[in-house]
Structure 1
Amino acid sequence: MRTPMDDSLKSIDQHLLQAYQNTSYRIFEPPLTIRIGQPHPALDQWLRSSGHSTWTYLTAYNPGSQLLSDAENEQAQQKLVHW
């Protein structure tokens, strides 16, 4: 499935894009692992049962793909969670 975000990926460094696509993203509620460009029937089913049809994966870790320390990432994530 293609999303509006796909066009913005054209400007991303290809090595960075490959890294994003090779990453497994963990969701804790419901407990799932997702990958870019792959179908996720369990997530789709959970969305339907919750009355939703779309989702977004949002994290404060390593903003702009710039590596931060674990402490900096945790602090940024907590700010996001409590925003």
Structure 2
Amino acid sequence: MDRYSGATYPEPGPNMMWNTRFGVGRTPTGDTGYDLAGAQKLAENFLTGYLPEAQIQESHAMPGYYTFDFGRNDTKGMLSVNAFSGHI
């Protein structure tokens, strides 16, 4: 939310850049390079080095990317994986 104008808009991130339905990244078409299971494996490998002992707690498939909530006992954050490139 813009504190001066009161306008609201999504925070820049995968929802704006990788979203193939509504975002800037609408161009990719065809089959994705990663399904949910493949994207989750990439996310788990990333978390091994970033936050040891963290686990994926919840996953969401979005148009063009996957989002994962992660943490140890409770949710500590969220990361996204591009469905075409595998970028995190």
Same fold (TM over 0.5): no
TM-score range, shorter chain: 0.3 to 0.5
Higher helix share: 1
Q: Give the TM-score, by structure 1 length.
A: 0.32
Q: Give the TM-score, by structure 2 length.
A: 0.31
